Homo-oligomer: A and B are copies of this chain.
Amino acid sequence: MQIGMIGLGRMGGNIVRRLMRDGHTAAVWDRDERAVSALVTDGAVGATDIEDLLRKLEAPRVVWVMLPAGAITESTIETLSGLLSAGDIVIDGGNSFWKDDVRRARWLKQRGLHYVDVGTSGGVWGLERGYCMMIGGEKDVVKRLDPIFATLAPGDADVPATPGRGTRDTRPERGYLHAGPSGAGHFVKMIHNGIEYGLMQAYAEGFDILKNANSEALPKEERFNFDLTDIAETWRRGSVITSWLLDLTASALTRDAELGDYTGYVEDSGEGRWTIMAAVDEAVPADVLSAALYARFRSRRDHTFGEKILSAMRAGFGGHIEPKASGSKVEA
């Protein structure tokens, strides 16, 4: 198939490359001309702007937008809606909020256009490993795009299918899913990322406790000298907690067991936040996913104002301001 790609960052560029390697063709555009040139070198048709891109696509056109979620994606889709023709398809492969998908799909439908939301996992490894995709949109439109999804997906990835799937849809066994109508793709991707935060935090806390078990702050007879690198490597085989995230952790610890390159300042994207909002909307307790998000919030502050409130109360009943490094214990 032929695809138009808008946005040639780390994800968009490699998606095009993976498609072309499998015989698909692509016209591409990005604000950064060098990104366009790089893809042209790899075999894509370059465009000078969105209008030019659309001219280079055969009808019905398929345009994949791979831009940061939010204002840029929104305005790009608005621009496309004015330029595309009935029957054309817009794919949003970024990390959009699923309620935005629902809204956009309705609005594009009024113009005779189709909208497909694709939650795309895999990061920088996707080019080789394939992209796990969670797709929302009209059934026949998603089916029409299947050649693209089949190429981008990981395939079986040497993972045996779960026994008993019988005559079920085989796409999940190849790493992609038509999750439901518009918004369903990004909803499932949102939960994927929410879970991801929780998993990461579980490992983080576990390794933190191991690390601090080596601390000189502990009494000598309760102190160990754990080799975190070897522990991570050991758990990769036969343990209950084997995972890809553990593999990545083992790699990082093998390079430097102190993780000295990292400040510990941890970003979050919208999806972890929206997961909490979905839980609250549904009245589902989500203690772990919330705590994982808050640990990231906290990592980005020297101190919270809340902590100063605590210190102020303690001074209020304990009678003195606690010094930065004291061991003062003024609980009353």
A134, A153, A315: most-surrounded residue (chain B CB, <10 A)? A315
Contact B310 A200 (CB under 8 A): yes
A4 at the A/B interface (Cβ < 8 Å)? no
Q: How far is the CA of A129 from the CA of B240 in the complex (A)?
A: 11
A318 at the A/B interface (Cβ < 8 Å)? yes
Known: A259-B309, A303-B264, A308-B264. A251 touches B205 (CB 8 A): no
Measured between C-beta atoms, what is the minimum distance from A132 to chain B in Å?
A: 4
A23 at the A/B interface (Cβ < 8 Å)? no
Contact B316 A263 (CB under 8 A): no
Measured between C-beta atoms, what is the minimum distance from A296 to chain B in Å?
A: 7
| Chain B residue at minimum C-beta to C-beta distance from A245 | B313
Residues of B within 8 Å of A173, CB to CB, are 233, 237
Binary contact track A83-106/B, C-beta < 8 Å → 1, others 0 = 000000000000100010010000
A1 at the A/B interface (Cβ < 8 Å)? no
Contact A314 B225 (CB under 8 A): no
Measured between C-beta atoms, what is the minimum distance from A22 to chain B in Å?
A: 15
Residues of B within 8 Å of A280, CB to CB, are 273, 276-277, 293
What is the interface residue range for chain A against chain B?
35 or more
DSSP class of A's interface residues: helix, strand, loop or mixed?
Answer: helix
Residues of B within 8 Å of A164, CB to CB, are 251, 254-255
Contact B304 A208 (CB under 8 A): yes
A311 at the A/B interface (Cβ < 8 Å)? yes
Residues of B within 8 Å of A202, CB to CB, are 195, 197-199, 201-202, 288-289, 292
Contact A195 B203 (CB under 8 A): yes
Q: How far is the CA of A207 from the CA of B304 in the complex (A)?
A: 10
Measured between C-beta atoms, what is the minimum distance from A231 to chain B in Å?
A: 6
Contact B194 A206 (CB under 8 A): yes
Known: A191-B210, A237-B155. A318 touches B172 (CB 8 A): no
Q: Which of A119-176 contact B (CB under 8 A)?
A: 121-126, 129-132, 134, 153-157, 159, 161-165, 168-169, 171-176
For A291, give its contact among B172, B208, B287 (CB under 8 Å).
B287
A290 at the A/B interface (Cβ < 8 Å)? yes
Residues of B within 8 Å of A225, CB to CB, are 180
Complex A-B, nearest 10 residue pairs according to Cβ-Cβ distance, in ascending order: A198-B202, A264-B303, A123-B332, A248-B316, A243-B243, A154-B238, A124-B319, A204-B306, A175-B237, A264-B307
